[in-house]
Amino acid sequence: MNSSLLQGSPATARYARFGRYHVDQQRRRVFLDSTPLRLQGKVYQVLIVLLEKQGEVVTREELRHALWPAGTHVDYVANTNTAINKLRHALNQSANKPSYIETIPRRGYRFTGTAEFSETPFATMKPANSPTAEAIDAGRDQEAPKSDPSRSYQLPTMIAVALILAGMLLGATAATYWISHFA
């Protein structure tokens, strides 16, 4: 086992890993393998609260206190349900087949997976069906793939061609009008 794993202090660890998911708590980013997921705001916060108390029931009241400051006037039940549903969707699970988030009726939710915590990034793997499946360097920041430079010129080129064609059409229309009315 890696000596940098922090089993007792998930709240202070920068990185978390469960299954194929990786969390960078400093950057507030979640990855499935090396693909970034769009978990923002309350959805991300719910995940972190559940990870910090993995295996324990997190009551709706605990989630309310963790997600909204005292005196906030929102529909806590609806907003909590929405955040849990979005999190389940992002983690590719349904309420009927929980793989990570279990609903405890009339009490709250429980993270049922096993999360590891570390101060250093975990090595990740490219998807197994990738023709170049290999370990990704754990020290390298995971970023979206760089776009092809030739594609960055496509939109301006299309706009320029459209403007030229529009100018030609306008010129032809004006010439036709001029000839028919003044010739």
Give the CA distances from residue 153 to residues 90, 98, 166, 167, 180, in Å, rounded to whole numbers and listed in that order: 33, 45, 20, 21, 41
> Distance between CA 183 and CA 127 in Å, rounded?
71
| Helical (H) or strand (E) element with 86 | helix 76-90
Residues 22 and 122 sit within 8 Å (Cβ to Cβ)? yes
Mean pLDDT of 18-24: 90
| pLDDT grade for 10, boundaries at 50, 70 and 90 | low
| pLDDT grade for 175, boundaries at 50, 70 and 90 | confident
pTM, 2 dp: 0.61
Q: Report helix, strand or coil for 89.
A: helix
For residue 11, pLDDT over 80 is answered with no
| pLDDT value of residue 128 | 42
| pLDDT value of residue 156 | 77
| pLDDT value of residue 47 | 93
Average pLDDT, whole number, for the chain?
77
Residues 43 and 37 sit within 8 Å (Cβ to Cβ)? no
What does DSSP assign to residue 118? E
Q: Report helix, strand or coil for 180.
A: helix
Helix residue spans in 10-75 (DSSP H): 41-52, 60-67
| Helical (H) or strand (E) element with 131 | none
Q: Report helix, strand or coil for 9.
A: coil
pLDDT digits (tens, 9 = 90+) for 100-126: 999 999 999 999 888 899 888 877 544
Higher pLDDT, 47 or 129: 47
pLDDT digits (tens, 9 = 90+) for 124-168: 544 444 443 333 333 334 444 444 555 566 777 778 888 888 888
